[in-house]
Every structure is written in C-alpha cells, then in structure tokens.
Amino acid sequence: EKSGYASFMLKEIAEQPKAVADTLLGRVDESGTLLLDEVRVPPEVLRETSKVVVVACGTAFHAGLIAKYAIEHWTRLPCEVELASEFRYRDPILDHGTLVIAISQSGETMDTLMALRHAREQGAHVLAICNTNGSTIPRESDAVLYTHAGPEVAVASTKAFLTQLVACYLVALWLAQHRGEKFGDEIGEVVSELAGIPGDLERVLETMEPVRELARSLAGHDTVLFLGRHVGYPVALEGALKLKELAYMHAEGFAAGELKHGPIALIDQGLPVVVLVPSPRGRSVLHDKIVSNIQEIRARGARTVVIAEEGDEAVAPYADHLIEIPEVPTLLQPLVATVPLQVFACELATARGNEVDQPRNLAKSVTVE
C-alpha cells in the first residue's frame, strides 16, 4: 500500500499535486466562476453572512489561520479563527449572520465537533471542510465541502492540509462571488494560478534533495525556530508542528515582527532558523521587512534556512541555505512553501531514528476532548 515509498508520509507528500488537482476538479469553470452548488448553503445565507468564524485543531487550525487572510481580503467579511478546544468555553458571539467553518481531515475530532454543535445551538450556519465522507462532523453540519485528498494514513497531516487550503480558497472566492464583490484582476489571476498549483508542486517535489541533506545535517540539534509574516506566519507554525510531532524536537513558529518583543533572545550561535519569505513582487513591504529580520538574526549567529521565491536576489546573500519555491500570488504561497517543511520534518525524524507514520503519543484522529 505504500507503493514503494518508505513511509505513508512520503507517499502522501508525493501525492499532493494530485490531491490538489482533485480538490479543484469541477469546482471552477474556465471563466473563473466558482461552481460550488454541491455545498448547498442557501444563497440568502451567503448574502446575509456578516461574520465568518473558523474552528479547527492542529494542522487544520493552521489552514484556518491562512484562510482568514484570503476570506477577509476577498470578501471584506470579518473572520475569526479559533482553536476548537478554546472556542465554546469563552462564550463566543454567534448568531444567524455567522458562518462557522469547521475544518477537519478525519471529521471525527471531538473538540471540533463540540465547537460546531455549540455554534449551531446559537443559530450559526456551519459549513464543514472535511476529507472523510460521511464522518460525524459533516453529518452534523448544515453543509459540507469535501477535500479530495484521498485517505491520509500517516498521523502527520500533509496532503489533507494542502487540500484544506484549496477548499478554504474556494469558499472565500465563492463567498466573494455571491456577495457581489468585484472580481477584479487579482481574483481572476488567483483562480488561474490555482489551476497551476499542481504543476508548481511537482516542481517543488523534484527539488527536495538539498532539503533532505540539510535535514540530515541538523539531526543532532535540539531546537529549530520558524519565522514568517502574513500567510507565512501560519506556515511557520505548521513547520514547527511537523517537527515537534515527527522529530520530537523543540520547534517554535513566530511572527517575524514579534522577534524584537522577545524571541530574538533565543538566537544563539548556530541555531537553525527557517524563514518563510513572501514574494518580492506585490506586497514588497512585507518582503523588505523579513529581509531585515533575516539580517538581524544572522548577525546574532543564526544559521538561516530561507524559503524564498525563485530569483529573489535580495534575500539570497543572507541565506546559509536557500530553498527556492515557484512564483505564486502571496495568498497562495502557503501551498508551495509548506512542502519543503514537510520533507524537512520527515527526513529529520528518519535521521533521528523515529517512526514517521506513527509518532509516539499521537493518534490519527482525536476522538476525546
């Protein structure tokens, strides 16, 4: 069943181009119109939504954090993202105008289920984004958009995450479409760029050997930090989570702008720091800020592992290790930037002698609160 791969995780990483293509299939037409009638959210609900709340756990929560940037930017609706385990204990403000999006690969995560039950009791409309047909979360939701990642066996989520992102982008664009937001050049570009993502992922996967080599060379380290800004921040959190789960290393993700508010004190001689660099095109302010963050940490001895767009010459001089990813619009960058982090964690875990498909203390679906 591993089809010649050493682990399910490696197989599932390799399946990501197909998983993304399958999740897009039939959901956008050639003119860029979103075709999501299957979701069965009544049009009046879409029009009358005044707030979006995303609830999820673990990696699915990171997908939600990224979705917030897309939803707010494309729909102009306020969007909150909350860990499902925290959500219902804080008396959240929910009503008929709230669209709650519950993201779950398994569809059985108890915290997410309890959060959506609470939301429905308060009158909110719940849309599930789920990878498992007929599981409890979609059954108990008002509507569902399935991700078509196929079965994910490894405990660490990889292809489910990428397809959750795709589903979130589709929902965001669809909400924008229904609410009459102007589909300007940017949205048209995003829709056609989404179609190119499977090809971009193939290219990323072909260039992973240096990432594997780097991972092996870091097997003796205790700590790895991850930094990002904007959508790169949740990607940093996801990179750190993968490393914790698989390599059992101390790994933390930070918003790069927070460095000077504390984390920079952790920077020490030789400490590996992975930095997600936004595209130098578009929002170049973000790019310039992160280049100066890289200079700051490098001046303090960090060993910088820089994930940047191909041809980004401004950042290259400050990268001890440069990992290049294809040019895609900023909001979509997590799709291509996450893959090297998955490969990195998987290889590092293997180099440390860990079982990657079944990390200690973890279960694939967490059906207790």
Residues annotated as part of the active site: 364
Give the nearest distance from C-beta 104 to ligand M6R in angstroms. Answer: 3
Q: Is 354 in the site for ligand M6R (CB under 6 A)?
A: no
> With respect to ligand M6R, which residue has the nearer C-beta, 351 or 366?
366
Q: 């909150």: which residue's tokens?
A: 80
Give the nearest distance from C-beta 157 to ligand M6R in angstroms. Answer: 4
Q: Is 243 in the site for ligand M6R (CB under 6 A)?
A: no
Figure out which of the listed residues 45, 266, 322, 366 binds ligand M6R, where binding follows CB under 6 A: 366
Q: Which of residues 116-155 bind ligand M6R (CB under 6 A)?
A: 155
Rg from Cα positions in the chain:
20
Distance of alpha carbon 304 from alpha carbon 297, whole angstroms: 8
Give the nearest distance from C-beta 366 to ligand M6R in angstroms. Answer: 5
Q: Is 60 in the site for ligand M6R (CB under 6 A)?
A: yes
> With respect to ligand M6R, which residue has the nearer C-beta, 130 or 273?
130
Burial 120-158, CB ≥16 within 10 A → b, else e: bebebbbbbbbbbeebbbbebbbbbbbbbbeebebbbbb
Instruction: With contacts defined by CB under 6 A, name the span among 53-61, 117-125, 199-207, 313-321 that binds ligand M6R.
Output: 53-61
Instruction: With contacts defined by CB under 6 A, name the span among 37-45, 56-64, 93-101, 276-284 that binds ligand M6R.
Output: 56-64
> With respect to ligand M6R, which residue has the nearer C-beta, 161 or 318?
161
Give the nearest distance from C-beta 166 to ligand M6R in angstroms. Answer: 15
Helix, coil or strand: residue 208: coil
Sign of CA dihedral 43, 170, 64, 137: positive
Figure out which of the listed residues 7, 53, 58, 293 binds ligand M6R, where binding follows CB under 6 A: 58
Q: 């909350």: which residue's tokens?
A: 82
> With respect to ligand M6R, which residue has the nearer C-beta, 93 or 362?
362
**Interior angle at CA 296, CA 293 and CA 297, nearest 5:** 90
Instruction: With contacts defined by CB under 6 A, name the span among 39-47, 208-216, 301-309, 360-368 that binds ligand M6R.
Output: 360-368
Q: 């519950």: which residue's tokens?
A: 102
User: Which spans in the chain are helix H?
Assistant: 8-14, 16-24, 43-48, 58-75, 84-87, 110-121, 136-139, 159-178, 185-206, 209-217, 232-247, 284-299, 333-351
Contact 172, 187 (CB under 8 A): no
Contact 199, 21 (CB under 8 A): no
Figure out which of the listed residues 105, 141, 279, 342 binds ligand M6R, where binding follows CB under 6 A: 105
Q: For residue 97, count CB atoms less than 10 angstroms from its CB and return exposed for 0-12, middle for 13-18, buried for 19 or more.
A: middle
Distance of alpha carbon 216 from alpha carbon 152, whole angstroms: 25
> With respect to ligand M6R, which residue has the nearer C-beta, 109 or 163?
109
Q: Is 59 in the site for ligand M6R (CB under 6 A)?
A: yes
Query: Which residue number has the CB closest to ligand M6R?
Result: 58
Strand partners, 321: 305
> With respect to ligand M6R, which residue has the nearer C-beta, 299 or 363?
363
> With respect to ligand M6R, which residue has the nearer C-beta, 63 or 190?
63
Contact 162, 200 (CB under 8 A): no
Give the nearest distance from C-beta 194 to ligand M6R in angstroms. Answer: 22
Q: Which of residues 64-103 bind ligand M6R (CB under 6 A)?
A: none
Distance of alpha carbon 28 from alpha carbon 22, whole angstroms: 12
Figure out which of the listed residues 7, 75, 106, 333 binds ligand M6R, where binding follows CB under 6 A: 106
Give the nearest distance from C-beta 108 to ligand M6R in angstroms. Answer: 7
CA-based diameter of the chain, in Å?
57
Q: Which of residues 148-177 bind ligand M6R (CB under 6 A)?
A: 155-157
> With respect to ligand M6R, which residue has the nearer C-beta, 261 or 360?
360
- Positions touching ligand M6R (CB under 6 A) are 57-60, 104-106, 109, 112, 155-157, 245, 362, 365-366
